[in-house]
Chain A
């Protein structure tokens, strides 16, 4: 029985039938394999997925610092997304709403008689007390069921209070995971925010947006530091330490950098259509990957000075970390890892592990789609199911005023030929080795089995399974929230990541799991009764 079969062995017929296509064993790197993804979870399995609201409010909109983001619904949803994703924000003008949680705290009567009046009143109070630049509303499960028209309330509020007010129908039950919520959030931002400043595009500057970077533990800040050091101008980050204000100008960038492909490829695509901004898949997690990314960026802009500066900065940064890098490599070389997180990170982190000689033997995503595993070339083959069809898809048209010429076709093709990830994402599979296993929508039971079969030296996951993994004697670090550490991005971040990994594996406590009395006797006895002799 191979690893995959052993994991599936316990399942009853029905569950087996469902799960078998979500677990793939890769026998040969590079050979394409199909995986089932972005489909409904099996009821009763202890999974790690969140909901549509979590993706919309929790992930994409949550990090915006200069807006009042009201959760319309009972108190829980707003409460759980309050400061819990560690997306740091720093408002130079002091207008930082990240430390706040706003909710309509729906009561039974609101459910019975409708919550629209309460929502309107809540917006009014928010405007009067906080004077925000914009108010956004995210709905939770019961809102869709009782039929509150949050869009109507929002447009009324816009007129009445003279602010931007945007509603997102991101009820938790929509779609099959938080992925649906990313989509809804992105649609709303695209329709109402991005490009709304209407300012003209500046040609030939190295102006970029960073997409799908949520500034967990300050990752986005580290990327900005590096990029600015080279000479780039960061127009907007979507949405780590993001602001409504910056987003309105996002269309003026010359290139979009896509970090988390899953949560934001929609916006990258739409901005290409509407403003002709090219996008490039980047990865700032890992030393070699950061170098690759920086070189590809320089290649894209094709400026000699920029290329030169890029190499100087790379050399400088490498030099700064050289000593620590060597130390952690000496400690981590040859170790094995499991990497199970939401989207993209499970791929990105394999690269930084590789930097330190750690092999990823098992990996999985919580809410990815097939293209995140198999690469964007499979997108035309992905069959939409009913749950996905329920999520609004918007089409955008070229903006007559703001559409601008980026690369000419010839250069674009030339770059693509050189394997630069322009408007392409290769997916996780191509970077995984022989015999490795990938699990989509992994669950508690499978995680346990996988730990037993593969016995990795360290397992990266989230808080829900972290403690279970450690109880099994395997060190576990969180990759959703970095265990209150970070940043993990770029050169210095790689060292922080390696240090945390090293500390987890080498903590002296692991050597003390077995109490000494289990192996050494504490009782001194005699055979029989001494007096008897």
Chain B
């Protein structure tokens, strides 16, 4: 497995091997799928749209709708305006969404299609909307694409309001529908009025009924995005993912926001709960306190299996930070924290976190790839690897227990329904991590040491 990976680490300047990120448009598509009755539209050649739909379908095991401008060589020369015009007409005719969310690709970016102007020139049916965002694939990663699409919606739709509508905007970050569901459950328990944006709970985990709904129940409504402009406050979760849209809602509608880490583990969830309680002026209900206590109970009961274990974590920046946060709370020692997204805030945040727990020998790196992680692990291995499906090759090559978490998970089911956020999400993480470690202990045990109880 990965036999061609040498132990010796050579500095690379140009060659990316086994990336830990992908391109902006797929993130934009995912964000748009979290808006009710929205058709994501990819302005470029067909392949991008196909790849992105495929990837989202594979991760969520759900239909991922999206259309394309189908550029051919002619459009590259003459610009994609005519393709967009035809596309928008056909989309409203055939698929009848309320809104089309256009994102660009590296092709339409490179030829310089001016989407602002192109959209103004469109004939848009009464009551329907077309918005856009720029998502050049050669800048940032899918995380930036997700943030840019949110920013695009806010730019076009959010309306500044003189009166505070009492709602708390929650930007959930690049997480699964199950996570968004959990965040809403917590808000509901507290009794906070909220607008979750985007919200793929309901759209990317729709029930099987025998009737296909192109636009299932769920997703942030256009009206809610408008109302974000009059929100009391925004909680921007995932400081790297949600910073740009938080800035935009402040700039456009003067709505203040608080940046919080993804609520993974005790401390980060505490912050989220406190913020919701503070903003909604509602007390934290007993039920939440009970969940928190149950989580602590689990952590104490099972602590012996985590203590001092070295863990490597790979994935999207906020997710890695969140997972690391919980691992530290469990008493584990992150050894490697890597993300492909090029944002130096990641290393800074990681360092702060590690310092707090006195972990000094962790390598935290942004803008790197899984090949480098693997080489690092060849030089100094770990007890556990946490990351998306692509990491399973490294886990096998180095015979390290593996927990799947983050994006993408292509080879397992159910993950997108199950949260990693909140106290409940942390319970599940504790279960996944301890099971992986105990399964390994059992696997490695000799028959005479193979025991029933612990």
The interface of chain A, by Cβ under 8 A from chain B, is 10-12, 14-15, 40-54, 70, 73-80, 82-84, 94-97, 99-108, 110-111, 118-119, 121-122, 124-126, 128-130, 140-142, 144-146, 172-178, 386-387, 390, 444-445, 448, 462-473, 484, 509, 513-514
Contacts and interface: CB of A to CB of B under 8 A. Distances in A.
Contacts of A468: 63, 212
B359 interface: no
Interface string B48-85: 10111111011001111111111111111000000110
B106 A46 contact: no
B106 A43 contact: no
Interface string B1-18: 111101000101111111
A104 B21 contact: no
Given A54-B47, A444-B65, A10 B94 contact: yes
B138 interface: yes
Given A74-B138, A84-B54, A145-B111, A44 B65 contact: no
Nearest to A91: B3
Contacts of B41: 44
Contact of B46 (A11, A49, A125, A462): A49
Given A104-B16, A122-B15, A142-B107, A471 B86 contact: no
Given A44-B41, A84-B410, A125-B13, 16 more contacts: A42-B86, A46-B65, A50-B51, A54-B50, A73-B106, A75-B141, A76-B51, A96-B4, A100-B4, A111-B106, A125-B10, A175-B72, A386-B73, A464-B64, A469-B212, A471-B63
Contacts of A70: 15
Contacts of A470: 208
B26 A76 contact: yes
Contacts of A107: 138-139
B2 A99 contact: yes
A134 B78 CA distance: 37
A38 B138 CA distance: 30
B16 A51 contact: no
Given A82-B18, A103-B19, A173-B45, A94 B3 contact: yes
A44 B89 contact: yes
A56 B94 CA distance: 32
A514 B210 CA distance: 8
A118 B12 CA distance: 11
A176 B68 CA distance: 13
Contacts of A99: 1-2, 393
Contact of A75 (B10, B23, B58, B371): B23
B105 A466 contact: no
A11 B94 contact: yes
Contacts of A509: 208
B344 interface: no
Nearest to B100: A44
B70 A41 contact: yes
8 contacts: A74-B106, A75-B22, A94-B3, A94-B4, A99-B1, A100-B17, A141-B44, A468-B63
Contacts of B257: none
Nearest to B208: A471
A467 B393 CA distance: 27
A474 to B, nearest CB: 9
A467 B62 CA distance: 5
Given A10-B94, A75-B23, A471-B209, A43 B47 contact: no
A95 B23 contact: no
A36 B23 CA distance: 34
Given A40-B70, A80-B55, A118-B14, A75 B19 contact: yes
Contact of A142 (B63, B106, B206, B393): B106
Contacts of B48: 51, 76, 172
A148 to B, nearest CB: 12
Band of interface residues on B: 35 or more
Contacts of B106: 73-74, 76, 106, 111, 140-142
B95 A51 contact: no
B90 interface: yes
A468 B393 CA distance: 31
Given A50-B51, A128-B10, A108 B136 contact: yes
Interface string B194-235: 000000000000101111110000000000000000000000
A44 B137 contact: no
Contacts of A513: 208-210
Contacts of B317: none
B94 A445 contact: yes
A43 B70 contact: yes
Contact of A76 (B15, B22, B206): B22
B46 A105 contact: no
B87 interface: yes
A520 to B, nearest CB: 18
Contact of B61 (A106, A177, A390, A467): A467
B238 interface: no
B3 A95 contact: yes
B138 A110 contact: yes
Contacts of A45: 67, 70, 90, 94
A464 B57 contact: yes
A97 B4 contact: yes
B401 interface: no
Interface in B135-184: 136-139, 141
A299 B41 CA distance: 53
Interface string B124-140: 00000000000011110
A79 B22 contact: yes
A43 B138 contact: no
Contacts of A514: 210
Nearest to A129: B10
Most buried by B among A42, A46, A110, A129: A46
A142 to B, nearest CB: 4
A3 B67 CA distance: 25
B116 interface: no
Contact of A111 (B13, B64, B68, B138): B138
B315 interface: no
Interface string B97-123: 000000001110111000000000000
A178 B50 CA distance: 11
Contacts of B93: 10-12, 15
B15 A104 contact: yes
B47 A52 contact: yes
A102 B107 contact: no
A189 B410 CA distance: 32
B390 interface: yes
Contacts of B25: 76
Contacts of A471: 63, 206, 208-213
B88 interface: yes
Given A11-B94, A387-B72, A463-B57, A177 B44 contact: no
B418 interface: no
A265 to B, nearest CB: 22
B46 A466 contact: no
A10 B25 CA distance: 30
Contact of B86 (A43, A130, A472): A43
B288 interface: no
A122 B14 contact: yes
Nearest to A10: B94
A100 B44 CA distance: 27
Given A49-B50, A75-B23, A444-B65, A43 B90 contact: yes
Contact of B107 (A101, A108, A145): A145
Most buried by B among A97, A126, A141: A141
Contacts of B432: none
Contacts of A129: 6, 10, 12, 15
Nearest to B60: A467
